[in-house]
Chains A and B, each alone.
Chain A
Amino acid sequence: DQQVKQNSPSLSVQEGRISILNCDYTNSMFDYFLWYKKYPAEGPTFLISISSIKDKNEDGRFTVFLNKSAKHLSLHIVPSQPGDSAVYFCAARRNTGKLIFGQGTTLQVKP
């Protein structure tokens, strides 16, 4: 039972344009959502998070949007840079429960 889903395995974007990575979830009890970035041969690194009481959180070029009614969150990267090329995972948790991750989306930013 995949409670967190990233339906796009890959995304290719031109440098300077916007990258939009999507994530859907099924459990309405999730109260915290996170995005992680992973480069090859490294562990995931925390990028940005959002609480379920908010619908937007911004940190520099990264913005996460949460649509609770649609059980959908997205990560916007503006402008995209070649160094952003990595695998992006969304994750969700309820209270102090375990973090549940999506399958990941590979982002390629072309110069």
Chain B
Amino acid sequence: KAGVTQTPRYLIKTRGQQVTLSCSPISGHRSVSWYQQTPGQGLQFLFEYFSETQRNKGNFPGRFSGRQFSNSRSEMNVSTLELGDSALYLCASSLDVGTNEQFFGPGTRLTVL
């Protein structure tokens, strides 16, 4: 069974630009969560989607948004990029909302110059 895939793996953008990251969950998994990892901050929860609906949301500004498609694939978008948005963005999938075991993808490394 294929794992969680994320594209692209690496991305370099400049301040003010926007970016879209993509995540394909494990086949059969319907819940997708997004996290931001920065040094010293651990993994910060961004949002969780299930059946194309946002179920949980973290404490991030409105520049961070996401969506989920009918095939459970998910995208997250960051608009008006800031230097502080440089981070590893991780996607995790699980069978259902609240399923405790989440399976993570390798992440997208975003660098904002």
Contact = CB atoms under 8 A, between A and B. Distances in A.
- Answer yes or no: are A and B bound together in one complex: yes
Interface of A: 4, 6, 9, 32, 34, 36, 41-46, 49, 89, 91, 93, 95-104
Interface of B: 4, 33, 35, 40-45, 48, 55-56, 58, 90, 92, 97-98, 100-107
A34 B75 CA distance: 26
A104 B90 CA distance: 15
27 contacts: A4-B42, A32-B100, A41-B106, A43-B104, A44-B90, A45-B104, A46-B101, A46-B102, A89-B43, A91-B43, A93-B98, A93-B100, A95-B98, A96-B55, A96-B97, A97-B56, A97-B98, A98-B33, A98-B48, A98-B56, A99-B33, A99-B45, A101-B43, A101-B44, A101-B45, A103-B41, A104-B42
B56 A89 contact: no
Nearest to B98: A96
Contacts of A46: 101-103
Contacts, number: 55
B22 to A, nearest CB: 15
Contacts of A41: 106
B100 A49 contact: yes
Nearest to A45: B104
Nearest to A91: B43
B45 A100 contact: yes
Contacts of B105: 43
Given A43-B4, A43-B105, A103-B40, A98 B45 contact: yes
Contacts of A34: 100-101
Contact of B104 (A4, A6, A44): A44
Contacts of B33: 98-99
B106 A49 contact: no
